[in-house]
Amino acid sequence: MPSRLHLATAVAAAALALASCGRSEPETPRAQAAPAAGRLTVQVQTVADLKPAPATLTTRDMADARARIPGVLVSLNVKEGDVVRQGQVIARIQDDRLNLETSAFDAQVRAAAAEAERAQADLARTQDLFEHGVYAKARLEQVQAQARAASAALAAARAQRGASAELAGQGAIVAPAAGRVLGADVPVGSVVMPGQTIARITAGPPVVRLELPEADAAALKVGDTVRLSAEDLPGAGGQGTIIQVYPAVTGGQVMADVTAPNLPQDRVGQRVRASVKIGERKAIVIPRRYVATRFGVDYVRLVRADGTLSETPIQTAPGSAPDNVEVLSGLRAGDVVSPAAAR
């Protein structure tokens, strides 16, 4: 019995020893090493100090097609969005009183013409009798004066009739410039007054008109670059150039016109987000490819002194170029970062 017990104990001890020899110790995880390619040393740069400015897509000028005479709008040939040419008749106003006045002047012209014809006949007869010694020269001069007065009266009647007809013709409203109709909201049949706007028409090339406080007016210079929102103006390339700074200050604001390629002409009045350079400042700017975004938080892969990587959260803002970002916090000059796409 004792020998069997000792044998079983020895077998168990041997099995335990074998099992312990086959078990391996867990390895401690090692930090990932940063690849040498693509490393960037963070530096402080001088960048443009940009200030957001409200801007509106518009045209260089606006033309108003206005009524020149009072009356009733009897026709309107355009609607919003139509393209018109300069001088095109777009509406017509009618005033029946002017037509009656023109008819009255026509009658006066006919009466003056008859009087002038009679005066010329009297002059011809008196001239013949004067030459035969029947009438004295004083009588001839009197008839000549009457003939000249009759001719002048005829000319005055014709001028009055022409002025009345011209005034009636001013009922035709023409486009003052070639462009696109922005508004034509006066219904046909409405009574209009002189100077009332019947249609509003764009004139000139499209521009982005921005406004800045008068304190920043000195920063606006013709030829400077202005950043434009690519979401608002997809075809403009993200930037434009100042072509005019208006000298007048209105309500504490200074206006400037910005031109850019491929500005749309069918969205006049659209709000555009713009940024204007008002100075320079120091900032940290890195390429966007060094930044990774997860769950709304931006990270960079910071290279430690021993060559390993650690992801550090940063706060960013749009950079001066579409492929750059400005680091507001999380990095300092001298830090080394690795591209976010590196593995």
All domains in the chain, ordered by first residue: 96-167 (1.10.287)
pLDDT at 17 over 70: no
Please report which helix (H) or strand (E) contains residue 177, including its range: none
Predicted confidence (pLDDT) per residue in 207-250, tens digit:
999 988 888 888 888 988 888 887 888 877 788 899 999 988 88
What gap in Å lies between CA 257 and CA 204, rounded to an integer? 12
Predicted confidence (pLDDT) per residue in 26-52, tens digit:
333 344 555 666 788 888 888 878 888
Predicted confidence (pLDDT) per residue in 316-325, tens digit:
887 767 788 8
Q: Which residues sit opposite 294 in a β-bridge?
A: 297
In DSSP notation, 12-72 reads HHHHHHHHHHHPPPPPPP-PPBPPSTT-EE--EEEEEEEEEEEEEEEEEEEEEEE-SS-EE
For residue 22, the Cα-to-chain-centroid distance in whole angstroms is 79
> What pLDDT shows up at residue 196?
92
Tell me the residue ranges of DSSP E strands in 184-252.
191-192, 197-213, 225-228, 239-250
What gap in Å lies between CA 120 and CA 147, rounded to an integer? 6
- State if pTM tops 0.85: no
> What pLDDT shows up at residue 341?
62
- pLDDT band (50, 70, 90) for residue 2: very low
What gap in Å lies between CA 75 and CA 87, rounded to an integer? 16
Predicted confidence (pLDDT) per residue in 82-132, tens digit:
889 999 999 999 888 877 888 888 898 999 899 999 999 988 988 888 888
Reading the block at residue 275, the tokens are 């940024």
Which carries the bigger pLDDT value, residue 339 or residue 18?
339
pLDDT at 306 over 60: yes
**Strand 71-76 vs strand 83-84: parallel, antiparallel, or unpaired?**
unpaired
Please report which helix (H) or strand (E) contains residue 85, including its range: none
